[in-house]
Amino acid sequence: MLRLEGLEAAYGVSQVLFGITLGVEAGQLVTLLGRNGMGKTTTVRAVMGIVPVRAGRVHFEGRPLHGLPPHRVAQAGLGLVPEGRQVFPNLTVRENLVATAANRRRAPEPWTIERVFELLPALAARARSMGATLSGGEQQMLAIGRILRTGARLLLLDEPTAGMAHEDVGRISSLIKKVAANRTVLMVEHNLSVVENLSDTITVLSRGEVLAEGDYQSVSRNPDVVQAYLGTAHV
């Protein structure tokens, strides 16, 4: 569904990605894993056209995306939930969901507000609350619900559990698992333990390059990955 080949990207003269290659099959939940500053967020921003691709290729369902502006990438069927959620603080939960509604491809079962509330009953209870008054976990739920409303077929989740209390991490992980049951997901995460029971495939990035890839068991036992994570809470 998504294929990155030799992807390179930079901020000005500072190169961040050095030939990233990975694939995401339809129906998979793939995690980009790595410590902060290793190129994970830059990878998803390059896919979305937010960061220019210096070299390499990005294909979605066989269609080249590299070089397209972000709105064209979104129209192709990709949706980004950015780090920090970025919900509209002065709109209610319902208004946030209305603002992003789209069904350009005429899907027979679009993500209506009612369907989002069925998936996220905690949001239904806060339907009239302003975005700024929600907890971090509730804001993340809203951000995911909002991107589902766009009709995106591939969801890019950038650090969905960052800065959350332990109980909220569990709630968001359960939500992501439910979403992945009927959507393809590429998720950015820095904590290996979070993705243990979530990911079909994990790609570990280190200094803008692919360090390792595989399932949780093979990645967590890889000596290069263990070395890269020395000094973190996981180790």
- Domain boundaries in the chain? 2-82+145-159+168-228
Nearest to 41 by CA among 17, 62, 22: 17
* Assigned architecture for domain 2-82+145-159+168-228: 3-Layer(aba) Sandwich (3.40)
Query: Residue 97 pLDDT > 50, yes or no?
Result: yes
What are the tens digits of pLDDT across the range 4-52?
999 999 999 999 999 999 999 999 999 999 988 999 999 999 999 999 9
Interstrand relation of 184-189 and 154-158 (parallel, antiparallel or unpaired): parallel
pTM (two decimals): 0.91
What are the tens digits of pLDDT across the range 162-215?
888 888 899 999 999 999 998 999 999 998 888 888 999 999 999 999 999 999
Model pLDDT, residue 100: 86
